[in-house]
Structure 1
Amino acid sequence: MKDTELEDWPPKFWKFHLETDTKPSVKVAYTDARRFGRVRLVDCPGEDIRQYSPLVENGPDPVNDLDIFTEQYLRDKMRSRRVPVKALLLDQTTISGIGNWVADEALYQAKQHPEQYCNTFNDEEIKTLFDSIRYVCQTAVDHLGDSDAFPEHWLFNHRWGKGSKEEASQHPNGEKLAFITVGGRTSCYAPERQKKTGKVEPKAEDTNAGVEAAKQSGKRTRKRSQVKLADGEKGDGADVNTTAPELGPPAKKSREAPPSEAGDLVVKPSRKGSKIKSEAADGTGTAPRSSRRKPDTTIDTTSTNMVPEPQRGAGGRRKSARLQ
């Protein structure tokens, strides 16, 4: 911590701070503005701290564990997994101490795309990434994490604008910077510099890949029919009312008989199977109703001789209704 920052003690966003009773005293503060961190108290000798949980579950440190973190170690880890390389670098059980910006910086220096699957890199690319990780981590430790002392050409110094009006998302060397989400974290990279040399996650594939695959497989794609626009009309010339219908089963044939010449009767079956509705084809009138009774039997609804509703007799038998 800088001496100028010690004047304002404890620092901003501190969660706890310690001060030793030694001469001279040592002050330590833990700050966490975003509240992502955790603090655990482990009762053990200081030199054995990495043999206790949670540090025992972590992978080797790129600066302190050079006997474990080797090029072969990184190659074995990358070949045994199928995840985006950025997600692999953020996994603390694989490598300790690589956070979001460190992973982005290492990939930027190695000219490798953060979404590419880690098992698709060749041996030369893995060696380049290993050297980049060592370079970035060692440089940051040598400067005690003082970002003002980081090299000017680093991505770190130009990644914070996110395309805002104040800071353009562009490196001073002219490379445009972009932001994507990889491994649940916002990732900054230079598309022109960090090219894909292997497979990436499906969601990161070109959206036109599906269209090209459909063309190669021989599938037909329908196009909206084009209509000529009148003067002054706006549009792209596509008539939504003339869109070709989707392919499907053939339409069922209508039961309705085709109309014949004028004067003939057209019979249309109704929903009720007991009656047939008929009408003149020329629309001049309606044919009289017919029923399932015999043709010579008619019902006169205006007659006063209609026998009333059948009544039950004394013996419980139903009397039949008759027409007079």
Structure 2
Amino acid sequence: MPELAEVSRIVHFIRQHLVGKTLSKVSTQNDDIVYGKAGTSASEFQKAMEGKKIVGAGQQGKYFWIAMSSPPHPVMHFGMAGWLKIRNADTYYYRTDKPQDKEWPPKYWKFLLETDEDPKTEAAFVDFRRLGRIRLVDCPAEQIRQFSPLKENGPDPVADKDKVTKDWLSGKLKSKKVPIKALLLDQANISGIGNWMGDEILYHARIHPEQYSNSLTDAQVKELHSAMHYVCSTSVDLLADSEKFPEDWLFKYRWSKGKKNASPTLPNGERIAFLTVGGRTSAVVPSVQKKTGPVAKDVKSEEEDGTQNVSKRKRGTVPKVESDAEASEEEPKPKKAGSRKQVQPTKKASEKKKPEVDTTTSAGRRRSNRLKK
């Protein structure tokens, strides 16, 4: 699923290619899930957007919006596999060499935008799994975050850096008794942190993902706060381009889980283990991330129970949508540019997590090395 950094990347491209331009044509395809479950319809979206000027774009965690010259404004969530394509712009954060990815209009589009300039700019929201959400929020653009679904979500560690202080984080941790990884993933607490970012933050903070949040020492809270801002700010500044991520990041070495005879390790030889925490597969380096306090008793190691199984799926397969809650799913390993197969782990029923505060559905996605800027 696109996390805070990946969503920040698309906001960057919206500002670069669309802000300041008027939409001469808006095409939509009816979808009672992508639009309907967010409380709007394709026709309402078309009517609200066509003929208006795009004046801005913003983000709170995994949500982003396009500010129009007058209300209402579209507020969107990619789910697990959604994205916004801009024709002739490298917006994607992973490489692809498939001919169908270069077609226009792209397959599985939900809306198409065309500007009135010459040459025109074209953009498309695509989602082959129908787990993204497109809604309209009728309010002044500067008040979007005061309305649902954003008002129910926690602060964004980059956009709200002044709010996400050490004292704020300490109070949040002490108010709950849940595994620290689960707390980080709960969008009601903090917006934008997903599976890989949560693991990266805990690795740099040297904190075990199983440990209860209210058991962390003041020193650990300080390290967690520092690691959170470091990982979030760095990945956003680099536009989610993983090829530019620091070489000592766990992200670079965590993707061999499930491969036959694979033994994921860091360059220094330290082993990477995989645990199921709060229904999510977590990468952890046991030699670095020690258990220093009480841990959740229902957490078990995947290495112990032998549940490291993956399955391959063909691109474009649309699974049945089961609910309108943002489901948790382990992330697949990035593929190298030019490869033609992608590996996607099979989601186990036991690994489903409870719905987050927002009503976005997500279940599964493909991933590979991100594009350079």
TM-score, length-normalised on structure 1? 0.57
Q: Match of 1:103, as an amino acid?
A: G
> Deviations along 1:169-219, whole A, 9 cap, x unmatched?
11222111111111221111111111101000113489xxxxxxxxxxxxx
Aligned residues: 206
Match among 113, 120, 124 for residue 208 of structure 2:
113
Q: Point out where structure 2 has 5 or more consecutive residues left out of the alignment.
A: 1-12, 14-87, 93-100, 302-373
Q: Match of 1:51, as an amino acid?
A: Q
Distance of aligned partners of 1:33 and 1:183 in 2 relative to their CA distance in 1, 3 Å threshold: farther
| 1:78 and 2:177 are equivalent in the alignment | no
Distance of aligned partners of 1:166 and 1:204 in 2 relative to their CA distance in 1, 3 Å threshold: closer
Equivalent residue, structure 1, for 2:60: none
Partners of 1:23 and 1:184 lie apart in 2 by 50
Q: Offset at 1:57?
A: 0.8
Q: Offset at 1:27?
A: 4.2
Q: Match of 1:202, as an amino acid?
A: K
Partners of 1:160 and 1:12 lie apart in 2 by 28
Q: Larger RCO: Structure 1 or Structure 2 (Cα < 8 Å, ≥ 6 residues apart)?
A: 2
Equivalent residue, structure 1, for 2:298: 203
Match among 99, 120, 123 for residue 218 of structure 2:
123
Partners of 1:12 and 1:171 lie apart in 2 by 38
Equivalent residue, structure 1, for 2:28: none
- Checking the alignment, whether the CA contact within 8 Å between 1:88 and 1:94 is kept in structure 2 is yes
Equivalent residue, structure 2, for 1:139: 234
- Checking the alignment, whether the CA contact within 8 Å between 1:62 and 1:69 is kept in structure 2 is yes
- Checking the alignment, whether the CA contact within 8 Å between 2:183 and 2:189 is kept in structure 1 is yes
| 1:89 and 2:155 are equivalent in the alignment | no
Q: Which of the two has higher C-alpha Rg?
A: 1
Q: Offset at 1:20?
A: 3.4
Equivalent residue, structure 2, for 1:164: 259
> Deviations along 1:106-144, whole A, 9 cap, x unmatched?
001111100100000011100100110100110111011
Matches within 5 A, 1:1-324: 3=89, 8-9=103-104, 15-22=110-117, 25-32=120-127, 36-165=131-260, 168-204=263-299
Partners of 1:10 and 1:104 lie apart in 2 by 36
Distance of aligned partners of 1:36 and 1:131 in 2 relative to their CA distance in 1, 3 Å threshold: farther
Distance of aligned partners of 1:161 and 1:141 in 2 relative to their CA distance in 1, 3 Å threshold: same
Equivalent residue, structure 1, for 2:320: none
Equivalent residue, structure 2, for 1:217: none
Q: Match of 1:182, as an amino acid?
A: V
Partners of 1:34 and 1:7 lie apart in 2 by 19
Partners of 1:185 and 1:12 lie apart in 2 by 30
Q: Secondary structure at the match of 1:203?
A: coil
Q: Offset at 1:30?
A: 3.5
Distance of aligned partners of 1:163 and 1:169 in 2 relative to their CA distance in 1, 3 Å threshold: farther
- Checking the alignment, whether the CA contact within 8 Å between 1:163 and 1:169 is kept in structure 2 is no
Q: Which runs of 4+ in 1 moved over 6 A?
A: none
Q: Match of 1:158, as an amino acid?
A: Y
> Deviations along 1:216-259, whole A, 9 cap, x unmatched?
xxxxxxxxxxxxxxxxxxxxxxxxxxxxxxxxxxxxxxxxxxxx
Q: Which has the higher strand share?
A: 2
- Checking the alignment, whether the CA contact within 8 Å between 2:275 and 2:300 is kept in structure 1 is no
Q: Match of 1:179, as an amino acid?
A: F
Partners of 2:168 and 2:287 lie apart in 1 by 30
Q: Point out where structure 1 has 5 or more consecutive residues left out of the alignment.
A: 207-324
Distance of aligned partners of 1:74 and 1:32 in 2 relative to their CA distance in 1, 3 Å threshold: farther
- Checking the alignment, whether the CA contact within 8 Å between 2:275 and 2:299 is kept in structure 1 is no
Instruction: Report sequence identity in percent.
Output: 55
